[in-house]
Amino acid sequence: MEVYLDNASTTNVSKEVFEEMLPYFRENFGNPSSLHGLGIKNRKIVNKSRIKIAELLNCKKTEIHFTSCGTESINWALKGLAFKNKTKYEIITTNIEHHATSETCNFLETLGFTVNYLRVNKEGYINLDELRDMINNNTLVVSIIMANNEIGTIQNIKEISKICDEARTYLHVDAVQAICHTEINLETLNVDLLSLSGHKFHGPKGIGLLYIKEGTHIGNLIHGGQQELKRRAGTENVPYIVGLTKALEIGISNLDIYTNRLNEYSKLFLDRLDKEEIKYILNGPVVGEDRLPGNLNLSFKNIDGLTLTYLLDKRGIFVSTGSACDSESIEPSHVIQAIEVPIDFINATVRFSIGNETTLEELDYALDNLVDILKNEM
């Protein structure tokens, strides 16, 4: 048996999404910028997708801009603000951001911007009072990861938004891991920019979007043609836009069922480890509404995480030691270091991310083998 428990790094394209995309690879292949019938037909499809996503996220259709992925969206949000606004030169972010954010901030520091980092507590939450103290008249943007991709912590974006509003500072939210895993209503969330990517919720890789709130002063990242409301050049990826839209529609409609089932599976997973008297730490908050459903980031005592993932892989169980974007590193991730996992646990940190298609039979198989490895091979 093979059991895929790395859904936080990517998900498969669902059957419904795949079937929705298929006609746009061969039959309906026209360039949306062309003025003939095939092109105009696909222009209408792109516009229809934009309208549908705006309805799902509760925003205006002119605020939705398609990109190639979450990383591009994050780069555009931060660089676009930096290039367009010439009076403020400070950025605030956290020390547990995805590398798409942290590396973009590092780049902007080379251009003269100052980046200030909010610390997090042992569960991965920022201190709102620290944000209030740090934000000032020179702060251009606060960039926060809504739900951490490694430890599943869901930040209080509504309270963060209030602080940014009072300071007249832009707020960018990395919602790549959060979308279709927790509720996102852009009208009530009140953020200026929000990034997401299709492959985290059974859409295809290579498609994302950036929400840009009306009135946000942001420059273009990619120059060329007049696509994406004259803000993002390049021929639109019609089949992937169709797939993203369908995946988002399905994910939002199934959110409550998905959340309840994955939280139940997570509790079952931890209960089994407790019953077997396995020594572990659950990194991040407890299983529930403040943690991504299905995200179990566990540190085991006095073992090596890479060895554990290798032994699980030999038995057909696929997990990760952290973010897939940092998988070549042999050091504990910056997120695990930031929450100060104890030294005798930190080197054996493994993320088990249960997915929408994970079955109880697969979970039992994974648990049986995990317990056997921990007790008999480590």
Q: Which of 209-223, 281-295, 327-341 has the lowest mean pLDDT?
A: 327-341
pLDDT per residue over 117-129, tens digit each?
999 999 999 999 9
pTM: 0.95
101 and 232 housed in the same domain: yes
| CATH code: domain of residue 129 | 3.40.640.10
- In 198-212, which positions are buried (b, 16+ CB within 10 angstroms) versus exposed (e)? bbbbbbbbebbbbbb
229 and 314 assigned to the same domain: no
CB 209 within 8 A of CB 66: yes
Q: Are residues 230 and 113 in the same domain?
A: yes
CATH of the domain at 359: 3.90.1150.10
Q: What pLDDT does residue 139 have?
A: 98
**φ/ψ of residue 114, rounded to 5:** -100, 130
DSSP letters, 39-106, are HHHHHHHHHHHHHHHHHHHTS-GGGEEEES-HHHHHHHHHHHHHHH--S--EEEEETT--HHHHHHHH
Q: Enumerate the active-site residues.
A: 325
DSSP tag of 359: -
The total of structural domains in the chain comes to 2
Domain boundary among 234, 253, 272: 253
| Contact residues for 244 (Cβ-Cβ < 8 A; gap 6+) | 49, 53, 66, 198, 203, 204, 207, 208, 209
Domain hosting 369: range is: 3-11+255-376
Domain shared by 158 and 302, yes or no: no
- Residues 74 and 169 reside in one and the same domain: yes
Percent of the chain with pLDDT over 90: 94
Domain boundary among 253, 274, 289: 253
Question: What digits encode the pLDDT tens for the residues 179-222?
Answer: 999 999 999 999 999 999 999 999 999 999 999 999 999 999 99
The rounded distance, in Å, linking the Cα atoms of 198 and 12 is 10
